[in-house]
Structure 1
Amino acid sequence: MNLHRIFARMIDAFRPADGPPPQSLLRFMGWSLSGAGRGLGFAALVSAAAGAVDVASAMLLGAVIDAVTSAPAQSLWSANGPLLLGFVAFFLLLRPLIMGLSTASSNVIVGPNILPLVLSRLHRWTMGQAVSFFDNDFAGRLAQKQMQTARAVTDVASEMVNVVSFALATVLGSALFLLTVDGWGAAALLVWLALYLGLIRFFLPRIRSRAAARASARAMVTGQVVDTITNIKTVKLFAHDEHEDRAALAAMAGFRERALDFGVVSTWFRVSLMTLAGLLPVILIGGSALLWQRGMATAGDIAAAGAIALRLSQMTGWVSMSLMGIWGSVGEIEDGMRTLSPPHGLADAPDAVALPPVQGLIEFQKVSFAYGRADGQGGIRDIDLTIRPGERIGLVGASGAGKSTLVALLLRLYDTERGTIRIDGQDIRHVTQASLRRQIGMVTQETAMFNRSARDNIAYGSPGATQAQIDAAAAAAEADSFIGEMQDHMGRKGYDAHLGERGVKLSGGQRQRIALARAFLKDAPILILDEATSALDSEVEAAIQGSLDRVMAGKTVLAIAHRLSTIAEMDRIVVLERGRIVEQGSHQELLALDGTYSRYWQRQSGGFLGTDDDAQAAE
């Protein structure tokens, strides 16, 4: 196996984290980097060896100068042959080898592995958050926070390996060498080091806080820009280009102010450290010269001390910039940690089990949910509803009546505030969310499309489906005809054509037919249709109605519809009003009752009740 392959595998770049991300900085760093200790330890050891090599270079240079100045020219090689050969071997073999290993550890072990390790953990944790977590933030801001935090953790780990290990080895090696010359040199170095650390202690907390503020402002810029681009059609339709430009500029101005704050403190930090760094060559070279005058040091000692002083002085600038970068990254980590590491608002129970294949019996028992509102307004209240396996239920009600809330609770996008929901007798809070949702197929009014191929979008219902199965699902949804005619801007055609972000290249009816094909392919025992045919014209709706009837056969179905004609043939219709069930029965039974449903039917005459968005109504 190649050496670089061995290095690359020292860290498992996609190893899952143990448990949730902690809320404190050091523990969060430990959570992010857990499992990478072997690779980071090896990289730190090699970096320390590289620092020691720098000191050894100066010492070897001093020894060679002493040898050259003390031996007659004609006997230089005979008297100092091993030393000179060692000098050549050191600079041509050992030093390149150690420096090469140090570079490889940084560029092969740490860099390419730590970023995906941390990013995959943050992304996996974020994906597990409840829907409300994403409702309360910008999509672009969350993506920015994931990348920002992963990159910052990577930078801290890399710089700690490359700089701190290297610098410590260099400083310790330099102090040991100076002790061999005279104790005052080592003492002077330690005093200078104390001043250096004092400056760092003063400046770095300020850099850290200002870096966090800058990172937060940067994420707000990303969130604002992504929000505008995501809704660009709305921006164009309302001619609000200037309004969005002002909003973006306001976010950018905030970022600029925070960046200026960071720039000012980092400039003063840099100037102060460079001034202090200038003292070191003066002290060490001047002191060595005084010792030489008194016969207490050799010319080689002066050369070695000078080389070390210059190296430490140069390294001071490098280390200070690196430490500033580390502390800036720490600020970004803290900022990202606050956004990304909150506990999951909707988690599987510790003893949750996978829901086995179900028959489709659904029971709502005294279920209430009001989106956390103290006044109990919005959502649903005291719902008792049993749906038999294979029964087709239509949900009817005006906007805010509770239809979408009922469906969201069944999918466990939220947990009930009171009451229990059971499927085949199993409390859905005691099964894993993933296994629950695998048993439920859903088509919504607002169809979700990925900017991927038509094939990928349909196969999302069953990722292992064959092309024949995808073709059959598309045909059942009356989507095969327009898919065959598609071509994207890259020249990809048919099922290979990409649909654009959120399916923007398709009409509303085409998006809904893709979503229907996806649900057909999933073939789950429970099917939810939330205005599933609302974006279809009457001709297409009639064409796929037979397919809908076939896909609903034998399934437990909940269908939300504002166009009552689409649910008139359901086995039972449940009428919701102000979050409560006020009527239920067949279409004919409800008309005969001459109540709310009958009033809707007479008022509508094939029209619509209106739109429904319980979550917005609750807010």
Structure 2
Amino acid sequence: MFSTFEKLVDPFPDEAPRAPPSGLFAFLWFFARPVWPLLAAMAVFTAAISVIEVSLFGFLGSIVDWFAETPKEALLAERGWQLALIGFVVVVALPGLQLLDGLVSFQALFGNFPMRFRYVMHRWLLGHSLGFFQDEFAGRVSQKLMQTALAVRETATKSIDVFLYVAVYFSGVVVLAAASDWKLALPFLGWLGLYAVMLRYFIPRLDRVAERQADARAEMTGRIVDAYANVQTVKLFAHTRREADYARASMAGFLATVYGQGRLVTLFVTCLQTLNSLLLFAVGAAGIALWTNDLVTVGAIAASVGLVLRIHGMSQWIMWEVSGLFENIGTIRDGMATLQIPHAITDRPEAPPLAVPTGEIRFEKVSFHYGKGGGVLREFDLAIRPGEKVGLVGRSGAGKSTILNLLMRFHDVEAGRILIDGTDIRDVPQESLREKIGMVTQDTSLLHRSIRDNVLYGRPDAGEAALMRAIERAEAGEFVGELRDRDGRTGLDAEVGERGVKLSGGQRQRIAIARVMLKDAPILLLDEATSALDSEIEAAIAENLYRLMEGKTVIAVAHRLSTIAALDRLVVLDKGAIVEQGSHAELVARGGLYAHLWSRQVGGFLAAGDGEESGESDAPTTGTGAKDEAPSMRAAE
């Protein structure tokens, strides 16, 4: 029975994710529409339960009158069938409705509804460009995803549970009281009016506080997660106290919203208790006055007082539920600001997958900048022949990493186009494009999974032999065999920690190289691929890297020029434009910018005007440092 209801909602739908609409109700309906039959069933059960509960107080009044008016020996004979009906309702009907309501609420919706939201929105968020995640705290985004999912469920279900229940229940209360005497219904109507005024005053204020609180909570979580994710840097600079103070500032901001919320709740509770006390007094006084004038029966008074006591408890529940409801609405509104952001880079509908028969790459009149006044690239032209190995050289800010990022379509060009084998990369799906390109970056981060999972990320369907061959070619076999995590997993099954923190920089780089070797894509991009390796390991990997380059089109960026000197062609960039190109020997003989940079490096260190210390990085969030080690990676010439 339970599993039947648990399978009524698919928490992991296959349809492509779409941007949720703007507007609170449109946003809610976007996620509630797939489960509307279950929400409608909830509404029916809730209404039926509320009608029965009000009716029970009417039965209570009737029973009191029967006891007062009917002799004991005649009670069952005269009222037996009515008592049996009451018994059936209490013992069978009400529990049965509660069971059905619970099955719909807790089995079908409670877990599946928010999980469906998380899965759909997680897929949508993964489709954002790299820039979106560079502008946001990872912890902040994940917090908004998780808390908005619960808020959407609570808003959809509680709106039915609270408002429908209250509407039906209070309508029944007024009808039941007025059935005895219309004057007896007046205190209930007065209470309802004043209660509505209270809600109108307090709820919007609680709503605004809740929205600020949700944002403050996300900010606090983001700062804490940021410190944990970069704990090595925190300890390296001895800034644990600074990070504690940084988090404390956001905690204080969050606590301020809690204090504001607490003050409103205290006032709300006090006003509500006063209103309930006035209702009890008014109904009691009215009942006594009407009874003394023989206008109502004792049973009617008993039923009315019972309703007052029930409302006393219900009003507390309603207050918290409505307060929680509007708190959830505030959370949704806060989450919508992040979750509704449209994708900056989108695929064209029905775009065909990219085919790379030869691997020719062309940049035609490409212009791009990172939101700055000046362009990083301005009408940039570059043609790379199929299978050609090209190195990009230049000072920081020259546009080297930007070229790679544009080719990967982490950003879209602002003018011009980029072609792979004659196809504009904007005319193919992003995933199809990136499947055809292998890339190793200097800033290598690994998934918080096992070594096996990280390497297989390059080609998930690869067999064990291919996996081990890639690891050995990346000179990673020795240290992988010695790995052991805190749960006792060893070797390929050992987990590497968040972003690979359990491994050294060189070890992470070798795993990244193994991953790209396993992927074996027709186009290879190397952005300081060996910068984190020592000279001995770099020399050992060099032969395998060059073997990996065979038959591929390669673009390599390296500030240590010796690592790319043997490539087919070196393209020297300065301020987003090509100033020189040719082989290493040709460029040295020419005596231009490349010869100047080369002489500085072989002389020992890059001077302050020539290397990473001068100028800004190609991308706003990434910088690469020139290495001072002696040249060590040599290609087989």
**What is residue 25 of structure 1 aligned with on the other side?**
24
Assess if the C-alpha contact under 8 Å between 1:43 and 1:110 holds in 2.
no
Match of 2:403 among 402, 406, 425: 406
Structure 1, unpaired ranges of 5+ = none
**Partner-residue secondary structure (3-state), 1:372:** coil
What is residue 143 of structure 2 aligned with on the other side?
144
Contact 1:211 1:328 in 2 (8 A): yes
Matches of 1:17 and 1:472, distance apart in 2: 36
How do 1:388-427 and structure 2 match up within 5 A?
A: 388-427=385-424
Name the counterpart of 2:309. Answer: 310
Shift of the alpha carbon at 1:315?
0.8
Q: CA deviation at 1:420?
A: 0.8
Deviations 1:149-196 (A, max 9, x none): 222222212322332222222112222322322233344433322221
Q: Distance in 1 between matches of 2:294 and 2:103?
A: 45
- The corresponding residue for 2:617 is 613
CA deviation map 1:76-132 (0-9, x unaligned): 222222122222222222222222223333222222122112222332222222211
Deviation at 1:319, TM superposition (A): 0.4
> Does the CA-based 8 Å contact 2:18-2:124 persist in structure 1?
no
Alignment CA distance shift 1:148-1:282 (3 Å) = same
Q: Alpha carbons of 1:334 and 1:61: their partners in 2 closer, same or farther (altered >3 Å)?
A: same
- Aligned mates of 1:332, 1:617 — CA distance in 2: 30
1:395, 1:595 → 2: CA distance?
15
More deviation in 91-100 or 515-524?
91-100
Contact 1:368 1:382 in 2 (8 A): yes
Q: 1:604 aligns with which of 601, 606, 617?
A: 601
Q: 1:617 to 1:121 in 2, by over 3 A?
A: closer
Aligned partners of 2:17 and 2:123 also within 8 Å: no
Alignment of 1:80-479 (within 5 A): 80-350=79-349, 352-376=351-375, 379-479=376-476
Deviation at 1:293, TM superposition (A): 2.6
Corresponding letter in the other structure for 2:414 = E
Matched with 1:565 is: 562
The change in CA–CA distance for 1:479 and 1:87 in structure 2 (over 3 A counts) is same
* Aligned-partner Cα distance in 1 for 2:179–2:93: 24
RMSD (Å) for aligned C-alpha atoms: 2.0
The whole-number CA distance in structure 2 between the counterparts of 1:222 and 1:114 is: 24
Question: Contact between 2:356 and 2:421, CA under 8 Å: does it hold in 1?
Answer: no
**Distance (Å, rounded) in 2 between the aligned partners of 1:57 and 1:113:** 34
CA separation in 2, counterparts of 1:465 and 1:310? 69
Please, which moves more after superposition, 229-238 or 441-450? Answer: 229-238
Aligned pair in 2 of structure 1 residues 356, 188: CA closer, same or farther (>3 Å)? Answer: farther
Structure 2 residues not aligned, in runs of 5+:
624-637
- TM-superposed CA distance for 1:403, in Å, is 0.4
Contact 2:454–2:515 (Cα < 8 Å) also in 1: yes
Please, which moves more after superposition, 347-356 or 447-456?
347-356
Counterpart Cα distance in 2 of 1:408 and 1:48: 58
Q: Who is 2:627 aligned against?
A: none
Q: Offset of 1:148 from its aligned partner?
A: 2.0
Q: Which amino acid aligns with 1:32?
A: F
Distance 2:468 2:497 in 1: 21
Task: Find out whether 1:518 has 2:515 as its counterpart.
Answer: yes
- Secondary structure of the corresponding residue to residue 264 of structure 2: helix
- Give TM-score scaled by structure 1 length: 0.95
Q: How many residue pairs get matched?
A: 615
CA distance 1:349–1:277, change in 2 (3 Å): farther
Tell whether the 8 Å contact from 1:45 to 1:165 is kept in structure 2 after alignment: no
Once residues 173 and 572 of structure 1 are traced to their aligned partners in structure 2, the CA distance between those partners, rounded to angstroms, is: 86
Contact kept, 8 Å, 2:366 with 2:377, in 1: the verdict is yes
Q: Residues of 1 paired with 2:184 and 2:356: CA distance?
A: 78
- Any idea what SS the aligned residue of 1:222 has? helix
Bigger mean CA offset, 347-356 vs 200-209: 347-356
Whole-Å Cα distance in 2 between the matches of residues 464 and 545 of structure 1?
27
For residue 14 of structure 1, the aligned residue among 12, 15, 18 is 12
Taking structure 1 as reference, are residues 516 and 304 closer, same or farther at Cα in structure 2, changes over 3 Å only? same
Which residue number in structure 1 is paired with residue 585 of structure 2? Answer: 588
Q: How many angstroms apart in 1 are the aligned matches of 2:159 and 2:450? A: 43
Instruction: Check the 8 A contact 1:445/1:531 in 2, yes or no.
Output: yes
| Farther-moved stretch of structure 1 (14-23 vs 93-102) | 14-23
Question: What secondary structure sits across from 1:616 in the alignment?
Answer: coil
Which residue number corresponds to residue 635 of structure 2? none
Contact 1:11 1:39 in 2 (8 A): no
2:543 pairs with 1:539: no
> Which of 286-295 and 569-578 deviates more?
286-295
Say if 1:9 and 1:171 are closer, same or farther in 2 by CA, change over 3 A: farther
Once the two structures are overlaid, the 10-residue window that deviates more, 395-404 or 10-19, is 10-19
Determine if contact 1:443/1:528 at 8 Å carries over to the other structure: yes
| Alpha carbons 2:155, 2:329 under 8 Å: kept | yes
CA distance in 2, matches of 1:275, 1:468: 77
Distance in 1 between residues matched to 2:225 and 2:569, nearest whole Å: 44
Contact 2:370 2:620 in 1 (8 A): no
- Structure 1 residues 528 and 294: alpha-carbon distance in aligned structure 2, compared to 1, 3 A threshold: same
Larger CA deviation: 274-283 vs 41-50: 274-283
Distance in 1 separating the partners of 2:49 and 2:605: 75
Specify whether residues 204 and 83 from structure 1 end up closer, same or farther in structure 2 by C-alpha distance, changes over 3 A only: same
Contact 1:564 1:606 in 2 (8 A): no
Amino acid at match of 1:576: L
User: Do the aligned residues in 2 keep the contact of 1:33 with 1:118 (CA within 8 Å)?
Assistant: no
Cα deviation for residue 275 of structure 1 reads: 1.9
Give distance in 2, aligned partners of 1:426 and 1:352: 11
SS of match in other structure, 2:22: coil
Question: Residue 489 in 1 paired to residue 486 in 2?
Answer: yes
Give the letter for the 1:366 counterpart.
Answer: K
> Aligned partner of 1:493: which letter?
T
Identity of aligned residues (%): 45
**CA drift at 1:606:** 8.2
The Cα shift of 1:516 comes to 0.7
Paired residue type of 1:5: S
Deviations 1:374-408 (A, max 9, x none): 233xx222211111121111111111111000000
